[in-house]
Chains A and B, each alone.
Chain A
Amino acid sequence: MDLTLIALRKLGSLLATLVIMSALIFILVEIMPGDVAQIILGQSATQEAVEALREARGLNDSLVVRYGRWIGNILKGDLGESVYMRGVSINSILWRRVGHSLVLAFAAFVIFVPLSLFFGVLAAVRENTLTDSVISFFGLATMALPEFVSGVFLITLFSVKLKWLPIVSVIPIGETLFSNLHIVLLPALSITFVMFGYVSRMQRSSMVHVLNSDYIRSAILKGMPKGYVIFQHALKNALLPSITIIGMNMGWLFGGLVVVETLFGFPGMGSLLMTAIKTRDVPLIEACVLIITIIYSVSTMVTDMLYSILDPRIRYQGGQL
């Protein structure tokens, strides 16, 4: 199938997913306990004042009308206003945090991708040796550790004992994240702990499979240097499953780091979402979840496309895996 056609099909599917997800997000957030008007005005507000605010904010309109208004505004680029910050658009709160999360995601990416791939290949090449066992064990152990456990371990080691890095990844007031990039290291390492196991084990397994195939055996028997065979012939073909895993997790990396960001106090989108939920800032919750959904959907689509480009067989099967 033509790549353009695949891209169009994926795009259509992405749009349909986003419409359904946006409706689900809106409904789920709207049925959460708590009256927004009551929260804004406080406990002692009269019923008349609450009613007046509900009317002014259109909260008395039907769910469909409110959803339509919300989506309409989003399409115009207006994500609305935070409940608690009258006059401040969510755009001005959200995108700064998205930027921070992107930096964190990139930092984690540049650490865990080369490390995982390298050790995955090494374990496969040294299959059934001590090196393989150590890498596999380490991969399993880090994979089994939740982020809040590995995070606490990293804080204890690097911040409390060695005092190399700050305990909390907060940007000092008046400074930028780029002048304080060291605060990204611990959260990025914590993410690396989670991702290393998945990617390195997938890489190992795929590499072992490829190394045992006939064409690799032929290449070695022909006298090609081992390194050349591994990196030029085997690795290329063994990368696909790892790319899938990495791609599928890009959405999580960009928007789903609620636990990591909250644990380290990192001012990204995950911690903003947590704050919005805690303070019941409904428009902000809706905006955050929608952005995360878009990131997830787009990254999944890009991974699928990448897969189609890297493996022509996918294209011939009509874009289906």
Chain B
Amino acid sequence: MKRSLIFILLLLVSASLMFALGGKESASDERSVRVAEQIPGLITPGVWDGQAFSMNSSIYEYLIDIDADTGELVPVLATDWETDDGSNWIFHLQQGVRFHDGSEFTADDVKYTIERTQDPSIGHLKKEDFEVVSSVEVLDPHTLIVHLDEPRPTFIYQFTDYNMAILSSQYDYDAFGETQPNGTGPFKMLQIIPKESAVLIKNTDYWESSLPILDKILIYFVGDIEASISMLEDNRVDIVPFVTPTIKNKLDKIDGISVISPYQEQRFISMAVDEAPFDDNRVRLALKYAMDPEVIALSVAKMPLGDGVYYSETPIMNSLAEYKELPLRTRNIEKAKQLLAEAGYPNGVSVPMYYASDHPFGKELSQTVKELAAPAGFDIDLKGYTRDVYLAQYWLNVPLSITGWGGRIDPSMLLALAFKSGGSWNESHMAEAEVDRLINLISGEVDEAKRTSYYHELQSWFFDNGSLINVQVPYLVALSDRVKNYKQPLTMIPQYKYMDVQ
């Protein structure tokens, strides 16, 4: 009996000791910020999947960037630039900049970064946008000219895309890009534990001597947004991106935490125009007449329409100068039914709708669209998949889809990608001569007023004939009150170099 009792007691004592040994985080003089981010897939610029923005945007840099406060272009690795009619672009580069591996940043690196977009073995996400580049001419170590096949007056904005971070021509990104990223950014990778965490430390050789302010960025890769929020509430992290409106409402009641919206994102409800039923514009219009923007705003984002959530039938964000104010279509079920009947669907139509179920707003928006469309005769079969499976397997090959689109400071980048014939992300399979003509005019027009008029013409066309319902939703980030100067412009690239903590 004694031996059994001793055994049981020993087990319990060892358990108590184990837990009593538990330590608390030690205090430190270092200025560090802690971030809970999604678990990244690929992180090498070019094939970077858009996860782990805090990590990548702190390691890499761009020729130019967007000022998060003013929305203006600001120089980063390029000191300035000039162009004739948009056909030839001269870049003057910063001097004295070094990559994290110690190599010097020169015009050859920019040339390499641009030419890398056309390397077929990479599958570069900016391939189509840079096909217009005919050659890159290095004039001296800090000056180069990018020659284009045709004028592109807004081509400069292509360099703000997050996949256009400047890479070193001397570095083997195929072998080390995913584990030892090498950029010129304000922070260097100190350690990465795959699928778990990463530590970035201040780049003491950073070319802007007063920056960065922080000493360290501690990044936890957390797959579940609820777990990330728990860490924020438990004071284990300071920043959680990709917060949903439901979580925002909860966090708004907690002292010491605030939720901000640095910019707007878009959710495109896209109808494929090359196959039934949406090859008939009357069916597309019927779906639009079945929608109720007020209901969508409230049920999807828990916010009233016009207060952080916006609705339109064109692809241009309402914050941009190119946006054209068009009247909201009033919900009219009878009209929708009539249009469906005229299109040959008097008894309604069944159609599957594909979406990314783990992307913010995905589930809510798909369910709301299904419910709103049902009275008009649309029997929508919801097909939700995880984001990677949705994008890789379904997105570009389905009749009806919901996809998250980040903003583009130059909307022509998005138009060429998503609505021009042959665009690589042409999800609605559009091949409209009128749309192509207008996009070409927009891309090549030097006169800003004329360019804006083409944009307006295009938006009117979309309102009458388009394949799109666009729900603009806020991108939300939760911050602890420790965090000061959180900056993240429309490019989606957070600027941690300006950040400070209390």
Chain A residues at the B interface, C-beta cutoff of 8 Å:
33-35, 38-46, 48-50, 52-53, 82, 84-88, 92-93, 96, 107, 110-111, 113-114, 117-118, 159, 166-168, 170, 172-175, 178-185, 227-228, 230-232, 235, 262, 265, 267, 271-272, 274-276, 278-280
Contacts and interface: CB of A to CB of B under 8 A. Distances in A.
Interface in B222-248: 222-224, 227, 230-231, 233-234, 236
Interface residues of B, number: 65
Contacts of B18: 107, 110, 181, 184
Contacts of A174: 199, 218
Contacts of A50: 123
Contact of A110 (B12, B22, B227): B12
Interface string B105-121: 00000000000000011
A84 B42 CA distance: 5
Contact of A43 (B22, B234, B392): B392
B123 A87 contact: no
B95 interface: no
A230 B2 CA distance: 12
Interface stretch (B61-69, B188-196, B466-474): B188-196
Q: Give 10 nearest A-B pairs by CB, closest first.
A: A182-B22, A45-B123, A41-B123, A231-B1, A114-B8, A265-B227, A167-B230, A110-B15, A49-B123, A173-B218
A265 B240 CA distance: 15
Given A93-B194, A173-B219, A265-B222, 13 more contacts: A48-B120, A50-B123, A52-B121, A53-B121, A92-B194, A93-B195, A110-B12, A114-B11, A170-B231, A179-B21, A228-B1, A231-B5, A279-B41
B15 A173 contact: no
Interface of B: 1, 4-5, 7-8, 11-12, 14-15, 18-19, 21-23, 25, 34, 39-42, 47, 49, 120-125, 127-128, 174-179, 193-197, 199, 218-220, 222-224, 227, 230-231, 233-234, 236, 358, 386, 388-389, 391-393, 395-396, 424-425
A84 B8 contact: no
Contact of B120 (A40, A46, A93, A113): A46
20 contacts: A34-B392, A41-B123, A42-B42, A43-B392, A43-B396, A43-B425, A48-B120, A86-B174, A86-B177, A86-B178, A86-B179, A107-B15, A170-B220, A170-B236, A175-B25, A180-B23, A181-B19, A184-B18, A232-B1, A262-B224
A46 to B, nearest CB: 6
Nearest to B173: A86
Contact of A86 (B1, B8, B14, B175): B175
Nearest to A43: B391
